[in-house]
C-alpha cells in the first residue's frame, strides 16, 4: 500500500516539476513515506530522519516531509522531535500534498496536515497517462479498516474502511495496461468486504470486470480476511482465467483462545475448512499467511497450536512477526506480556518450521514446466551487464502461484531478448532453492497466451 501511495505522491509532485533522483544528496525535496504497523518500522523512521539533519544543514532550502501512518499517528509531535522537518502529512492528505509543498516554497512555513475524511478523494492527476517500465503494478481498491483486531494500528492511522468507485479502478487498470502493465495486484486491508458498505459491486464481481480487460494477463489481490472469504470468491479461482492461483490468508495464531483475544472472529476450525474449500476448488493454489508470535497471554500450549496448524496446512510461505504494542490498539493495554527473548525464540521456531515446507514445495516443481510472467533481467544479470540482443540473458518472473523463477533464455526461444518483458513464457524448472526456482525456456509459449494456458502444470 505504501508503494502505491508513494507512486501517487510522485505523480502529484510532477505537477510542480519535480522528478525522481536516485541521489539523496542531490534532492531538493525528500519525502519519507512511513509505516507504523510494528514498533521496529516506526523506529526506523526516526533514525532515518535523524540522518537527514546533516543534509538540511548543508542545504537549508532542502524540503523534508514525512507522510504515511507514522505521520498520521504522531502529527505535530514529529515537528517537535525533528527540528529540521518542514512537513507532516497524514494518510488522507496525499491529494493535498502539492499545495502544501507550494505553500512551503512560497511562505517558508512548516505544515502539519493530518485531517481525515470518510470519502476517498480521488486525485485529479489520476486521469493522466502512466509512463511505466514495470510489468506488474499495485492498485489500491479500498482504504482503511473497520475490523479492529486488538493488536493493530491500521484503523487508527488509515481510518474507516472505504471502497473506491469500481469505474475509477477499472479505468486506472486500463490506463496501466495501455502503458505496458500486464499484472495488477489489488490492494485493501480486507478485499473481501470491498463495496459492501457503499453498496457497490462485490469483490468477486469487481474481479470479473477486471478479468475482462484486454491485454491484462494476470490479477492478484491482497489481503483477504479469513472471516469474510466467501464461496463466490473461492469459485473465482476456478472461473477467472487471469486470477493467479495464490491467496494470502493471514491466520495470525493457531489457538482459538488467542484468536478470540485478537478479535479475529474466526476459529482455527473455520480457517482449516476454508483452506480445504480453496484446495478442493483449485488444486494447485498456493496459500501464504501471517503469524504473530508472543501476543499478550500466548502460553506455550497456544504457541504449540500455532506450530501444529502450520504443519497441518503446509503453507507455501509465511510472514511471521514478533508482537509489538501499538498506540491506541487495545492489546497494548493487555497484561501478561511475553518477554522479548521468548518472542524471539518462538519466531525462530516458526521460521525454521516453515522453511522446511517452503523448500519441500519448491522441490516438487523440479522437472515441471511453469508459465512465468517475465518481469525483467534477473538480479545476477543486472549485476553483470545488460546483454545485447544476440546474447542469452538471465531473466526473472513469477509463476501464477507467486514463486520467483530465475531463468536462462535458451537458444530455442524464437523471440529475442528485447521482447521478453511482460510475456508469459513456459519455463522448464531445473533446480529449486528455498525461496526461488531456476530454469530455462523450453521454446513453447503457453497454449492460449495468458488465458487458459496458465493452468498447464506439465511435468
Closest contact distance (angstroms) between CB of 192 and ligand SAM is 10
| Binding partner of 292, given ligand SF4, ligand SAM, none, CB within 5-8 angstroms per partner class | ligand SAM
State which of positions 185-214 bind ligand SAM (CB under 6 A).
189-190
287 binds, among ligand SF4, ligand SAM, none (CB under 5 to 8 A by kind): none
Site of grid cell 500486464: 182
Tell me if 291 contacts ligand SF4 by CB under 6 A: no
The reply to whether 226 sits near ligand SF4 by the rule CB under 6 A is no
Q: Report the alpha-carbon angle 258-264-270, nearest 5.
A: 90
Q: Is 189 in the site for ligand SF4 (CB under 6 A)?
A: yes
CA-CA distances (angstroms) from residue 113 to 66, 71, 74, 75, 116? 10, 9, 11, 8, 9
Counting other chains too, the contacts that 21-26 makes at CB distance below 8 Å and 24 or more residues apart are: 24/55, 25/55
CB of 421 to ligand SAM, least distance (A): 30
Near ligand SAM in 338-377, by CB under 6 A:
none
CB of 268 to ligand SF4, least distance (A): 17
Question: Is 165 among the residues that bind ligand SAM (CB under 6 A)?
Answer: no
From the list ligand SAM, ligand SF4, none, pick the one residue 324 interacts with, judged by a Cβ distance below 5 to 8 Å according to partner type: ligand SAM
Q: How far is the CB of 436 from ligand SAM (least distance, A)?
A: 23
Q: What is the 3-state secondary structure (H, E, C) of the chain?
A: CHHHHHHHHHHHHHCCCCCCCCCHHHCCEEEEEECCCCHHHHHHHHHHHHHCHHHHHHCCCCEEEEEHHHHHHHCHHHHHHCCCCCEEECCCCHHHHHHHHHHHHHHCCCEEECCCCCCCCCCHHHHCCCCCCCCEEEEECEECCCCCCCCCCHHHHHCCCEECCHHHHHHHHHHHHHCCCCEEEEECCCHHHCCCCCCCCCHHHHHHHHHCCCCCCEEEEECCCHHHCCHHHHHHHHHCCCECCEEECCCECCCHHHHHHCCCCCCHHHHHHHHHHHHHHCCCCEEEEEEEECCCCCCHHHHHHHHHHHHHHCCCEEEEEECCCCCCCHHHHCCCCCCHHHHHHHHHHHHHHHHHHHHHHHHCCCCCEEEEEEEEECHHHHHHCCCCCCCCCEEEEEECCCCEEEEECCCCCCCCHHHCCCCEEEEEEEEECCCCEEEEECCCCCCCCCCHHHHCCEC
Residue span binding ligand SAM (CB under 6 A) among the ranges 22-30, 81-89, 322-330, 432-440: 322-330
Nearest C-alpha neighbor of 318 from the set 396, 434, 233: 434
Q: Smaller CB distance to ligand SF4: residue 160 or 361? A: 160
Stretch that binds ligand SAM, among 113-121, 213-221, 320-328, 419-427 (CB under 6 A): 320-328
Q: Which of 152, 184, 234, 424 binds ligand SAM (CB under 6 A)?
A: 152
347 binds ligand SF4 (CB under 6 A): no
Listed ranges 124-132, 141-149, 192-200, 426-434: which one lies at the site for ligand SF4 (CB under 6 A): 141-149
> How many residues line the site for ligand SAM (CB under 6 A)?
17
Chain residues 324-343 in contact with ligand SF4, contact rule CB under 6 A:
none
- Find the part of the chain contacting ligand SAM (CB under 6 A) among 22-30, 130-138, 148-156, 301-309: 148-156
Binding of ligand SAM by 37 (CB under 6 A): yes
137 binding partner (options ligand SF4, ligand SAM, none; Cβ < 5 to 8 Å by kind): none
CA angle 332, 336, 338 (to 5 degrees): 85
Q: Which of 135, 145, 219, 285 binds ligand SF4 (CB under 6 A)?
A: 145
CB of 48 to ligand SF4, least distance (A): 24
Considering the complex, state which of residue 143 and residue 394 has its C-beta at the smaller distance from ligand SF4. Answer: 143
CB nearer to ligand SF4: pick between 114 and 222 = 222
Which 146-185 positions form the footprint of ligand SF4 (CB under 6 A)?
Answer: 147-149, 152, 154-155
* Per-residue interface string for the shown chain with ligand SAM, residues 103-122, x marking contact by CB under 6 A: --------------------
Residue list 234-293, contact with ligand SAM (CB under 6 A)? 250, 252, 290, 292
Nearer to ligand SAM, 37 or 112 (CB): 37
Considering only 164, 225, 322, 343, the residue that binds ligand SF4 (CB under 6 A) is 225
Residue 36 CA to residue 39 CA, distance in Å, equals 7
Contact partner, 155, from ligand SF4, ligand SAM, none, Cβ < 5-8 Å per class: ligand SF4
390-413 burial, b for 16+ CB within 10 Å, e for fewer?
A: eeebbbbbbbbbbbbbbbbbeeeb
Name the site residues for ligand SF4 (rule: CB under 6 A): 145, 147-149, 152, 154-155, 189-190, 225
Name the site residues for ligand SAM (rule: CB under 6 A): 37-38, 151-152, 154, 189-190, 223, 225, 250, 252, 290, 292, 321, 323-324, 326
Amino acid at each position: 500500500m505504501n508503494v502505491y501511495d508513494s507512486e501517487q505522491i510522485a505523480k502529484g509532485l510532477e505537477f510542480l516539476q519535480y522528478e525522481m533522483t536516485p541521489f539523496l544528496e542531490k534532492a531538493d525535496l525528500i519525502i519519507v513515506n512511513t509505516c507504523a504497523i510494528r514498533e521496529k518500522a516506526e523506529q526506523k523512521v526516526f533514525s532515518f530522519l535523524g540522518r537527514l539533519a546533516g543534509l538540511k544543514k548543508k542545504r537549508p532550502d532542502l524540503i523534508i516531509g514525512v507522510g504515511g501512518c507514522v505521520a498520521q499517528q504522531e502529527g505535530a509531535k514529529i515537528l517537535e522531535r525533528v527540528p529540521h522537518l518542514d512537513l507532516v502529512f497524514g494518510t488522507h492528505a496525499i491529494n493535498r500534498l502539492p499545495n502544501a509543498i507550494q505553500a512551503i516554497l512560497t511562505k517558508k512555513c512548516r505544515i502539519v496536515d493530518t485531517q481525515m475524511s470518510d470519502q476517498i478523494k480521488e486525485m485529479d492527476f489520476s486521469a493522466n497517462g502512466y509512463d511505466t517500465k514495470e510489468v506488474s503494478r499495485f492498485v489500491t481498491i479500498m482504504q482503511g479498516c473497520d475490523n479492529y483486531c486488538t493488536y493493530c494500528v491500521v484503523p487508527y492511522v488509515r481510518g474507516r474502511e472505504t471502497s473506491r468507485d469500481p469505474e475509477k479502478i477499472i479505468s486506472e487498470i486500463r490506463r496501466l495496461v495501455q502503458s505496458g502493465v500486464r499484472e495488477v495486484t489489488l490492494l485493501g486491508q480486507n478485499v473481501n468486504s470491498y463495496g459492501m458498505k457503499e453498496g457497490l459491486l462485490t469483490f468477486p464481481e469487481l474481479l470479473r470486470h477486471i478479468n475482462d480487460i484486454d491485454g491484462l494477463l494476470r490479477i492478484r489481490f491482497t489481503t483477504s480476511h479469513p472471516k469474510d472469504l466467501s464461496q463466490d470468491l473461492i469459485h473465482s479461482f476456478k472461473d477467472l482465467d487471469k486470477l493467479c492461483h495464490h491467496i494470502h490468508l493471514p491466520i495470525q495464531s493457531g489457538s482459538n483462545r488467542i484468536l478470540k483475544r485478537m478479535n479475529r472472529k474466526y476459529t482455527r476450525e473455520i480457517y482449516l475448512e476454508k483452506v480445504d474449500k480453496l484446495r478442493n476448488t483449485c488444486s494447485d493454489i498456493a496459500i501464504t499467511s501471517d503469524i504473530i508470535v508472543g501476543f499478550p497471554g500466548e502460553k506455550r500450549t497456544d504457541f504449540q497450536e500455532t506450530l501444529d496448524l502450520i504443519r497441518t496446512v503446509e503453507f507455501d510461505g509465511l510472514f511471521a512477526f514478533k508482537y509489538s504494542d501499538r498506540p491506541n490498539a487495545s492489546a497494548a493495554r493487555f497484561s501478561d506480556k511475553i518477554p522479548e527473548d521468548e518472542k524471539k525464540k518462538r519466531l525462530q521456531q516458526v521460521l525454521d518450521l516453515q522453511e522446511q515446507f517452503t523448500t519441500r514445495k519448491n522441490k516438487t516443481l523440479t522437472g515441471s514446466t511453469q508459465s512465468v510472467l517475465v518481469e525483467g533481467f534477473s538480479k545476477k544479470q543486472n549485476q553483470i551487464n545488460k546483454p545485447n540482443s544476440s546474447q542469452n540473458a538471465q531473466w526473472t518472473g513469477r509463476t501464477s502461484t507467486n514463486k520467483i523463477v530465475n531463468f536462462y533464455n535458451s537458444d530455442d526461444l524464437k523471440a529475442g531478448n528485447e521482447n521478453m518483458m511482460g510475456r508469459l513464457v513456459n519455463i522448464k524448472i531445473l533446480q529449486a532453492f528455498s525461496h526461488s526456482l531456476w530454469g530455462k525456456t523450453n521454446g513453447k509459449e503457453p497454449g492460449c497466451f495468458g488465458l487458459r494456458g496458465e493452468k498447464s502444470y506439465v511435468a
